[in-house]
Structure 1
Amino acid sequence: MATLDGHPAATDDLMQLALTSYAHFTSMRVENGTVRGLSLHMERLVRDCRIVWGTDLDTADVRERVRKALAGQDDPCVVRVTVYDPAVQMGRPADASQPHILVTVRPAGAMPPPPLRAMSVPYERDLAAVKHCGLFGALHARRTAQLAGYDDALFIDRDGHVSEGGTWNVGFIDGNGTVVWPQGPVLPGVTMALLQQHADGLEHRTASTVTLDQARGMAAAFATNTSIGVRPLAVIDETPLPTDHPVLRQLREAYLAIPGERL
């Protein structure tokens, strides 16, 4: 069920979201009423609300809406909070400035998921720093990769540099065991931030550029988001990568050890 401001969402309420996709969101994996990085998810919603709608967002209200949507839900699930204004119009988006809170819930997949086979696809997201609902390009890239026999797309920018994945950040492990994060116009992922904060004993660095050849030559690679945690990349294009690197195991264990924050 989808709820809008705590009430079942009607078809008319969702019409403009479907027609314009002008909205932003965050997705959170909920286990036992807690979320890893809940504060970071709330910070993202507040930050993006100012960018997209030019107004502040009451995070206490957001959390209350999420708790209400989760009533009676015991199994791990993924909650998506979408912030949009049902009054937004294609011709006058500037007139919309009163966003509402849409909450949807779906079952969570098993952790950890199997390794991912990625295909490089040229694509750059609009307004990459915002987790927005303009997903056509990303889904088209994902479809292109899947039709070629892969699981998902790894985005390559116009200069041939790796940026991020279809709905995930990408990280690499170099020959020294250092965790490498590509710099550039990418979504500042919550799981990525948590790993940088909590993966004690591991060295992290941000690379100004990671070329496709460099990515294929790394000791290992992985995808991160709230739904999958740390997911090894088994293949980039036709190049196989190890999925049992000890640093991958350290990252996965560090992530799973992060305590959840109570909703």
Structure 2
Amino acid sequence: MAELNGSPIGLADLQALALTNFGHFTSMRVEDGRVRGLDLHFARLQRDCQAVFGVDLDTDRVREFARRAVPASGTCVVRITVFDPGMDLGHVGDDAHPQVLVTTRPAGSLPLPPLRVQSVVFTRDMPLVKSIGLFGSLRHRRNAQRAGFDDALFTDAQSVISEGGTWNIGFVKDDRVVWPDAECLVGTTMELLRQAHPSTAAQVTLADIAGYDAAFATNVGIGVRAISGVDGLALPATHPVIEQLRKEYNEVPGDLI
């Protein structure tokens, strides 16, 4: 389904979204009407609306729109996109009147098989914002897949790791998790795992990866997914800490939308 402000979205509004492509979003995995880290999702929407449009977002209203889309039982992914249908390429500096698009799609079964990733020098525009402008990320994902990998891993010019194409990366050392100390979008799954499992933040370069026991990717769509290789370096496809992280994440109680 696709609803704009609680009503079926029209072709003109979809066209504005497709052609201008300016806005932000969050995606939530909904299980039997509940979402892990629901408050984190709404805090992100509020924060990003200020960053992108310079206006407040009524999250109670957004929650009501999302509630309409959620089935009483089963699992799905609900995406909330905030954009201004009246904004066009020539007048993006006008006062914004952002609207709320809610869409749903099926959720895949978890856990997913390990990822093999290819490193690339790239930094997303406004990396702290979950923007809908995904061209750069998808371009590098496509290039990685064409080269035989599953996805792209972003670094700066000094090979300092920041994040994946649409996911965060973590590293395992003994029984602890190390999150890259770099500018990136802190995902809700990452934040929940930071609360659930002992972790630290440190600068991690591509050369440092060989000194870690394992690595994993995480977001709401994939949960906790092992990374079995970075460029030509092989990593374990399974590890006790990764299994523990999955258990801890699954045990996080969900909030009713």
Q: Who is 2:155 aligned against? A: 156
Q: Is the 8 A contact 1:75 1:107 kept in 2?
A: no
Moved more, 51-60 or 23-32: 51-60
SS of equivalent to 1:94: coil
The alpha carbon displacement at 1:244 in A equals 2.0
Counterpart Cα distance in 2 of 1:216 and 1:133: 34
Q: Who is 1:105 aligned against? A: 104
| Superposed CA offset, 1:160-197 (max 9, x none) | 111100100000012x3321101121001111100011
Q: Who is 2:200 aligned against? A: 205
SS of equivalent to 1:49: helix
Match of 1:189 among 180, 187, 190: 187
Q: Who is 1:221 aligned against? A: 215
Counterpart Cα distance in 2 of 1:226 and 1:30: 10
Q: Who is 2:178 aligned against? A: 180
Counterpart Cα distance in 1 of 2:47 and 2:180: 22
| Superposed CA offset, 1:11-63 (max 9, x none) | 10112211121100000000000000000000000000011111111111111
Q: Is the 8 A contact 1:162 1:215 kept in 2?
A: no
The alpha carbon displacement at 1:217 in A equals 3.4
SS of equivalent to 2:127: coil
Q: Does 1:93 align with 2:92?
A: yes
Q: 5+ residue gaps in structure 1?
A: none
Q: Which amino acid in structure 2 is aligned with residue 41 of structure 1? A: H
The alpha carbon displacement at 1:73 in A equals 6.1
Q: Is the 8 A contact 1:37 1:260 kept in 2?
A: yes
Q: Which amino acid in structure 2 is aligned with residue 45 of structure 1? A: L
Counterpart Cα distance in 1 of 2:46 and 2:89: 24
| Superposed CA offset, 1:197-250 (max 9, x none) | 122xxx31101x211111243210000101111111011112111122111111
Counterpart Cα distance in 1 of 2:83 and 2:95: 9
Q: Does 1:247 align with 2:246?
A: no
The percentage of aligned residue pairs carrying the same residue is: 53
- For normalisation by structure 2, the TM-score amounts to 0.97
Across the aligned residues of Structure 1 and Structure 2, the Cα RMSD in angstroms comes to 1.2
Counterpart Cα distance in 2 of 1:87 and 1:217: 51
Match of 1:235 among 229, 234, 240: 229
Counterpart Cα distance in 2 of 1:104 and 1:152: 25
Number of residue pairs aligned between Structure 1 and Structure 2: 257
Counterpart Cα distance in 2 of 1:151 and 1:238: 13
Q: 5+ residue gaps in structure 2?
A: none
> Runs of at least 4 residues of structure 1 off by over 4 A?
none
Q: Who is 1:258 aligned against? A: 252
Q: Does 1:116 align with 2:115?
A: yes
Counterpart Cα distance in 1 of 2:183 and 2:142: 22
Q: Who is 1:3 aligned against? A: 3
- Mapping for residues 129-140 of structure 1, pairs under 5 Å: 129-140=128-139
